[in-house]
Amino acid sequence: MTVALPGEVYFDPAFVFHDGQVGEKLFVVLCDSPLDPNAVVVARTTSVNKGEYVVGVESSGEMEGCHSGAFVPNYFLPAPQNKFTKNTWLLFDDIYEYGDEEFRQLGWKVTLELDLALTISVMSCASQSSHVPGWAQKQLIKQLEKMK
């Protein structure tokens, strides 16, 4: 069993982005890793709508739920629902995998937990995204079958 469970939201106070910038970031645990039973797979979040997260919906670009076909596939959660203080997009274009020990060393703390129904909905959405690597999609589907 891993150190984290699907639906847990972790806070990283000093996340290093691909461009070298450092900032605060929330991550949502999606599932255990299929490559190592002692690993965890997470998706990052954002509270900034850059206009690329949702296609074909209302002009505000803020329609609750799954947007696996968007340019940046995501799951949108409007504030203050589901315990987030700001509108939040769970992003599926950049999935991270950590081993248990590596995850512990990050020192991240659980800031909140999604309820089971929402966790299942988020995992299902991520599993439908073409941006999620095949190995992660398979694990998401496998774990979803166990959770339902």
Residue 52 has a pLDDT of 63
Residue 54 has a pLDDT of 57
Are 120 and 147 in contact by the 8 Å Cβ rule? The answer is yes
What's the distance, CA 105 to chain centroid? 20
Q: What angle do CA 145, 84, 26 make, to 5 degrees?
A: 75
pTM, two decimals, is 0.87
Query: CA 48, CA 96: separation in Å to the nearest integer?
Result: 20
Residue 59 has a pLDDT of 38
Residue 18 has a pLDDT of 84
Query: CA 132, CA 60: separation in Å to the nearest integer?
Result: 26
What lies within 8 Å, CB to CB, of 16 at 6+ separation is 22
What sections of 16-133 are H helices per DSSP? 100-106, 116-127
Residue 75 has a pLDDT of 93
pLDDT tens string, the chain, 148 residues long: the values are 457 889 999 999 999 988 999 999 999 999 876 556 667 899 999 988 876 665 544 434 578 899 888 888 899 998 887 788 899 999 998 888 888 888 888 888 899 999 999 999 999 999 999 888 888 888 888 888 888 7
Residue 22: which region, alpha, beta or left (left: phi > 0; alpha: psi -120 to 50)?
beta
